[in-house]
């Protein structure tokens, strides 16, 4: 694996490879890598000639500065995992390389309704920061394909919109959420959970399954109330949302009986760690 810290060195290398006709796949990350990230690297390797991973903890997407300060950094382990996964290139820029003008939010992206709900509502400006950094990274890498995980369902929709808004010629490919055997969705934030917390956090996946099983049997309000209560009873201190939405637009589903594809999404805090997960309903 070749490690690049500057845009110039990365682009010089990529330019040569692209001129040879090689296709490129890109997996942007904030590090603290786990098997979910590695599965995206694997997908990229299967579909593209060259796989580039970036590690950059983007300050502009953290609406809570404490969350940014506590974000796990495990760079040596990340490099080892990427080498094992036979990733071709790691782009590891400094904040100054990505934001030479400073880390303030500059452009505003018209994300419309998507930015007013769920993560957009509970994390003001989060998606503007995500768009800012992903736009910058896509301009630098200009990959044929971009790989993101379904765990960040709304983020995938936002990035699809970013691609449409900017006309960037990159295809977004979404990889399935990887889970521990307990069902807990893999996430860098899990590193901040104790073993006891991880056990408690299993209730999120169980809640998604419960809604999936009962969606045609019980009323939506009842399902959401049951799940919200069980999250609180299992030690979660704040439940931001349990929402059943249209899988294509993320509009809240008002009539559960319609045939529209649906997704259930959860965000809740356990011991100060904010966990999110989702499941497409059958
Ligand atoms: O999903 C993430 O890890 C981040 O939001 C991303 C896409 C790498 C942008 O910083």
Instruction: Render pLDDT for 126-183 as a digit per residue (tens, 0 to 9).
Output: 999 999 999 999 999 999 999 999 999 999 999 999 999 999 999 999 999 999 999 9
CB 281 within 8 A of CB 259: no
208 and 141 housed in the same domain: no
pTM of the predicted protein model? 0.97
Q: Could you say which of 146, 175, 204 is where a domain stops?
A: 175
129 and 207 housed in the same domain: no
Q: Which residues pair with 173 in a beta bridge?
A: 147
In the set 15, 34, 37, 135, the catalytic residue is: 37
Q: Could you say which of 154, 175, 196 is where a domain stops?
A: 175
96 and 235 housed in the same domain: no
For the beta sheet containing 145-149, the strands, ordered from the edge strand earlier in sequence to the opposite edge, are 2-4, 89-91, 50-55, 24-29, 145-149, 171-175
Q: Closest ligand 1 atom to the C-alpha of 30?
A: 3
* pLDDT of res. 142: 98
* pLDDT of res. 258: 76
* pLDDT of res. 255: 82
260 occurs within a structural domain:
yes
Rounded to 5 degrees, φ, ψ at 217 are -110, -30
Residue nearest to atom 3 of ligand 1 (CA): 29
Q: Provide the angle, in degrees to the nearest 10, between the axes of the packed helices 126-141 and 7-19.
A: 50
97 and 19 housed in the same domain: yes
- Rounded to an integer, what distance in angstroms lies between the CA atom of residue 53 and that of residue 103? 22
Ligand 1 pocket, CB under 6 A = 28-30, 58, 61, 130, 133-134, 152, 155
- What is the CATH number for 126? 3.40.50.620
- Rounded to an integer, what distance in angstroms lies between the CA atom of residue 148 and that of residue 141? 15
- Per the annotation, the verdict on 37 as an active-site residue is yes
Name the residue of 133, 143, 274 whose CB sits within 8 Å of the most ligand 1 atoms, as the mutation to test its pocket: 133
Residue nearest to atom 1 of ligand 1 (CA): 29
Q: How far is the CA of 233 from the centre of ligand 1 (A)?
A: 31
Total structural domains in the chain? 2
Q: Which residues of the chain fall short of a pLDDT of 50?
A: none
* pLDDT of res. 279: 98
Q: Closest ligand 1 atom to the C-alpha of 54?
A: 8
181 occurs within a structural domain:
no
194 and 166 housed in the same domain: no
* pLDDT of res. 122: 98
- What is the CATH number for 219? 3.30.1300.10
Which range marks the domain in which residue 112 is found? 2-175
* pLDDT of res. 254: 85
128 and 230 housed in the same domain: no
Q: Closest ligand 1 atom to the C-alpha of 58?
A: 10
180 occurs within a structural domain:
no
163 and 264 housed in the same domain: no
65 and 196 housed in the same domain: no
Q: How far is the CA of 149 from the centre of ligand 1 (A)?
A: 10
Q: Could you say which of 115, 145, 175 is where a domain stops?
A: 175
């Amino acid at each position: 694996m070749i490690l690049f810290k500057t845009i110039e060195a990365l682009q010089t290398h990529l330019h040569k490879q692209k001129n040879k006709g090689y296709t490129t796949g890109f997996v942007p990350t904030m590090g603290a890598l786990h098997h979910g990230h590695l599965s995206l690297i694997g997908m990229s390797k299967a579909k593209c000639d060259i796989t580039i991973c970036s590690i950059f903890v983007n300050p502009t997407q953290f609406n809570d500065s404490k969350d940014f300060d506590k974000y796990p950094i495990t760079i040596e382990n990340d490099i080892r995992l990427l080498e094992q996964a036979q990733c071709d290139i790691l782009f590891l820029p400094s904040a100054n390389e990505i934001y030479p003008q400073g880390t303030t939010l500059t452009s505003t992206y018209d994300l419309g309704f998507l930015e007013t709900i769920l993560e957009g509502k509970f994390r003001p400006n989060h998606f503007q920061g995500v768009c800012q950094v992903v736009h910058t990274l896509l301009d630098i890498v200009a990959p044929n394909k971009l790989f993101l995980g379904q765990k960040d369902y709304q983020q995938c929709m936002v990035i699809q919109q970013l691609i449409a808004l900017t006309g960037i010629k990159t295809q977004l490919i979404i990889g399935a959420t990887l889970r521990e055997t307990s069902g807990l969705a893999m996430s860098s934030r899990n590193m901040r959970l104790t073993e006891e917390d991880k056990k408690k956090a299993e209730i999120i996946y169980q809640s998604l399954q419960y809604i999936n099983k009962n969606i045609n049997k019980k009323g939506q309000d009842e399902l959401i109330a049951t799940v919200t209560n069980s999250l609180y009873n299992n030690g979660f201190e704040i439940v931001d949302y349990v929402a059943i939405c249209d899988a294509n637009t993320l509009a809240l589903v008002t009539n559960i009986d319609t045939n529209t594809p649906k997704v259930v999404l959860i965000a809740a805090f356990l011991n100060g760690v904010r966990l999110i997960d989702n499941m497409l309903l059958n």
